[in-house]
Structure formats: structure tokens, C-alpha cells
Structure 1
């Protein structure tokens, strides 16, 4: 075979051998194949996996529980349809507003709406203040107002409406009557002289005694619309059946 190759002309032997460009192409293909094989083996190599960490019991202590308030434990939720408790129901004497009638010697007499717990001084300011020269010696401006009462300023003793003073009978400048007032016989104007009793409440008292043929006892005053425990305690020593 070697002798046959030697007898072949040189130009024929050069054509039988691979061209340089062919060798370069083969070398490039080989390099690419080696690179792909290496990338494949690198990507599928086994990797170490960490075991999951154990969650400790106290890890969730920093998460705020919306049902807890400090250390007092979870806040109980009321059952569906349960009536509101006494602590959650707003009291008409401590929540909302009250309406009072300011009359007499003030700049803007009339009905005034005030926050609950307001005092006589607040009602006077809402009415524009007392007129100059008015005698307010017997007017207790620190007294807490009640809903529906009338505050009269500078009126004579016989015409003064409830709220012009402390409401105690027999006190100079007080609006309450000197003797117990008969609930079954008093007129509307006489009832309005009682502390905390305005025109509306006086009419409620008259309507109640008309429907029930008078008052048999002072305790029946609790049944009149608009008279609560606190107002009844003020009126009880001032009235009689």
C-alpha cells in the first residue's frame, strides 16, 4: 500500500488529503460538541439540599393576634342576635346631645342643642350671653343640664322656669315650688316650674294623668315618657299625688 502511494503523482496525493479548511471546520465542530457536553454534565450534577428548619413554638410570638388585647386574653365576640349589654348601649344622659330652651334676658333666646353634660354656662354662651345689667345672683351657672329643660334668665320668681337655680325648694332664687306640687291638680304652667320640666314634659305628665284618672302615688311619675331615674330623684321631694 505504501509502494502504491509512492507511485501516485504528488498532485493526486494532495487531492486525496483533507483540505485545511475542512480540518478547521472539523476542529470547530469538535470544540462546540465538547462545550455542550460539559455544560450538560455541569447542569445535571447532584447538588446538596438543606433540610427545612424546625419552627419553634415561640416563633409566632411576634405576630400580633387581633383577638388579644395586651395580656387580658382574647376578646370575646358577642353571639349573633344577642342583645347589646348595658355597657355597650349608649345612655341618653351621657351620649349624644341635649336640647334646652334658653329664655329671658339673653341676646338670642330660643332652643339650643348642646353636647350631653353641658352646664348652664354653656347654654348662656350658646344664647349669645346675658344682657348687660341682668341680675344673675340666683343663677347656678355650674349646674349640669338635662334634656328638655328650660333655662330662664332674669325673670321674676313666679315666672322663672326650671333650671334658673339649683332646683331645691325654698332656696332663694330657686325655680322649684316652696310646697309639694299636686301632680293630679297642677296646671301645665305650674308643672313647668319644676326642675327639668319644660313644656313638652309637662304635657306628658298631663296626658298620663288624663289617661289614668290622676296620680295615685308619686312613683307613677316613673311611667311618664321622658322621666328617668335621675330626674325622678330630683322631682320626688317636690311633688305629691
Structure 2
């Protein structure tokens, strides 16, 4: 065979033809072992892909084992419930307060009355303005005088906000004008509410004239005028007792100077 002839020719050139076959086989076995050891050393060297893969798998397994141990410790300490504290909020984030406690302290209770659609008691966020309170009460009505109220003012807990009426202001202005006209008429020689005999007409007398009565000061005189404007003229002298601060004793002391 050509291959065998070539091998024998090569053996003769290398002077191996004289080497016994068992020795030749032993040498070949040694060479095979050397090659196998070289391959194994390469496979387990630090730069080989085999070790990286093995190390990655080992790291993943260790991480999973550590996570399992931490979870087991948490379950054992908290009875199976998650009791770990929430992470702190970063700067600039809004912190949502729990129900009750501080959340209640951030609200104020205010009373809105007057010319609004739905007067009543409302709860607003702390720092709200009067305009927020009016809006919460359904907004101002058509007769409201919003120019008489500072809508930009910050509300306070327990505050009452009253929106006045334009109609009431006009009526008050008209009453003041009538009283002024009456005073002018008296000054120009018109009929005086008090007679020549010194009597005081409780339905037409001014505050100054009412103060000439015994026991009537400025506050009581204003109450008398306010009562007759609100409830109409007094129909009898005894009706004067419906004014706060005037009883039977005080009325008896000034009855002889009163008239209708």
C-alpha cells in the first residue's frame, strides 16, 4: 500500500525502523496525553469563555440564594407581612399625607353667608382665598356687592365670610337721605318732630332728640331708630319696650315726654 510504503520510507529516513513497536506505541500514548493536558489547561485558564460562563452562572445562583435568605428573614420578622419602611421621597416631590392626622390640619372650616347661591359651612384647603370660599358656596348672586369684600384675602379656620347686598346698601342710603331731608326741613322752619311742649315723637325723632330722654344714651337711641326702620313705626308708647335695653321701669321714667 502506498501509505504504508511512505511510512516505512519515513521511518528509515528518521532511523526509526530499528525502534521496537512497543516503544513507538508508548511514545505515541505520551504525546496524546500531553495534547489532552494542554487542551484541559486552555479550557480552564482565566481568559477562556468556559470560566466566564461558569462564573456568571455561579454569581446568579449566589444572588438568588442571598435574595431568598433576605426574604425569609423579612417574613420571619414581620409575620409574613411587608413591614419595610417606604423609601424617602426625593427633594421637590409632594408627600401624600395619610388619611386623618396631619391631613385634617391642612384644611380650614369657614362659614359663607350673605349673597351667595348656597350659604353654609365649607371645608377648604389651608391657604385658600375668599374667592375660593365664594366659589365653593355656588358663587355670588346678582345683587351681591363683591367690591365690598377683599376676594384675595386668605381665609382662616373658623372665619365667617358675609357677602353684602347691593339692595340693602341702597335702602340704607335712601333712609339716610330721608333723615337728612327731615333735618333740613326742621332747620328751615318745618314741623319739628318734638312739640312746643317738649314732647319727643318716638317715630320721627332724631338720635340727638332721643338722647334728651331720661335714661337714653347714644346706643339706645340708635336701637330705637333701627327698630322702627326694621319693624315700622311704633303704634303705641308701650311698643318702645320691644327695643333692647328699655324695660317698664325705664319707660315709666320718660313716658311723660313721649308722643306719637
Please confirm whether the aligned pair reaches a TM-score higher than 0.5, indicating the same fold: no
Please identify which structure carries the higher helix content. Answer: 2
* Greater relative contact order, per chain length (Cα 8 Å cut-off, separation 6+): 1
TM-score (norm 2): 0.28
